[in-house]
């Protein structure tokens, strides 16, 4: 599915439409709700139903261009030579580079994002994703996606301080307490984008 302008999709949680201050307020409020239901603060799982074929959702997740659409501020990814990794930036802090590798297995529907700030040799931020057929799991049309994220010790302390950009005020990893809420909102972005596109660009015969 090709990328398109997102201006006609209301309510997306993206840095282009939600200021950093408003985003922080939203994340803090949602974090309070989520923490009330969280048993282990060092791991969390987020999930979302999307009214689209699971194959469409899988293809969207493994496409690097999609990361720039549904995430709040990860933008401008480009290939990192022939390493299989990409380098992008945090649009709210352009000096912070994001290194990312996407590993997918279409047969079982797994999509893992391995990433890190500042450097790409040690991709210690691992997001373990799974795409499932809603027909198989819930006996309804559509797709299901889940992400599971475990807290790594490096979230608390920068393991490579000598690679930090000059002048950056804080280590981005300290935002871990807000990651759960941010991922919830980003999966909602994903749902809105895909469902909007399928309404305006119907799939060829075969559908779901």
pLDDT greater than 70 at residue 40? no
Q: Between the CA of residue 59 and those of 38, 109, 145, 159, what are the distances in Å?
A: 30, 10, 12, 33
Among 111, 91, 90, 89, which Cα is nearest to 101's?
Answer: 111
What's the rounded mean pLDDT across residues 14-23? 92
Question: What's the average model confidence in pLDDT over 56-75?
Answer: 97
Q: Which of 37-51, 96-110, 188-202 comes out lowest in average pLDDT?
A: 37-51
pLDDT of residue 198: 93
**Tokens read off for 138:** 């819930």
* pLDDT, greater one: 152 or 33: 152
Number of residues written out for the chain: 208
Print burial letters for 16-46: b (CB count within 10 Å at least 16), e (below 16). Answer: eebeeeebeebbeebbeebeeeeeeeeebeb
Overall average pLDDT of the 42-54 stretch: 95
Q: What is the pLDDT of residue 39?
A: 53
93-105, strands of its sheet edge to edge: 43-50, 143-150, 125-133, 110-117, 93-105, 86-90, 74-79
Mean pLDDT of 196-201: 92
| pLDDT tens-digit readout, 107-144 | 999 999 999 999 999 999 999 999 999 999 999 999 99
* Average pLDDT score, the chain: 91
For residue 126, give the nearest of 104, 159, 146, 148 by alpha carbon: 148
Q: How far apart are the first and last CA of the chain?
A: 15
C-alpha torsion 115→187→16→89, nearest 10 = 0
- Average pLDDT score over residue span 51-69: 97
Return the SS3 of 23.
helix
- How does pLDDT run across 8-18, given as a tens digit for each residue? 888 898 999 99
Residue 204 has pLDDT above 80, yes or no: no
Q: What is the pLDDT of residues 176-186, one digit of tens each?
A: 999 999 999 99
CA distance 10 to 93: 24
CB 145 within 8 A of CB 47: yes
Q: What is the pTM of this model?
A: 0.83
Q: Which residues face 115 on adjacent strands?
A: 100, 125
Confidence of residue 208 (pLDDT cuts 50, 70, 90): very low
Considering the chain, what percentage of its residues have pLDDT values greater than 70?
A: 92
Q: What's the pLDDT score for residue 206? A: 43
Q: Span 44-200: which CATH code?
A: 3.30.530.20
What are the sequence ranges of the domains in the chain?
A: 44-200
């Amino acid at each position: 599915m090709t990328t398109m302008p997102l201006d006609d999709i209301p309510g997306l949680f993206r840095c282009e439409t939600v200021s950093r201050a408003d985003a922080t307020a939203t994340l803090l409020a949602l974090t309070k709700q989520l923490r009330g239901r969280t048993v282990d603060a060092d791991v969390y799982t987020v999930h979302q139903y999307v009214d689209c074929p699971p194959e469409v959702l899988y293809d969207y997740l493994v496409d690097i261009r999609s990361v720039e659409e549904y995430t709040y501020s990860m933008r401008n990814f480009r290939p990192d030579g022939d390493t299989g990794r990409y380098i992008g930036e945090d649009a709210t802090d352009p000096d912070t580079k994001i290194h990312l590798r996407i590993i997918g297995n279409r047969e079982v529907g797994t999509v893992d994002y391995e990433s890190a700030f500042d450097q790409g040799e040690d991709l210690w931020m691992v997001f373990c994703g799974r795409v499932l057929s809603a027909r198989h799991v819930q006996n309804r049309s559509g797709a299901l996606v889940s992400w599971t994220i475990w807290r790594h010790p490096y979230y608390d302390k920068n393991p490579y301080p000598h690679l930090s950009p000059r002048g950056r005020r804080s280590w981005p990893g300290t935002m871990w307490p807000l990651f759960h809420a941010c991922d919830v909102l980003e999966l909602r972005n994903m749902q809105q984008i895909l469902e909007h596109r399928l309404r305006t660009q119907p799939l060829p015969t075969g559908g779901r």
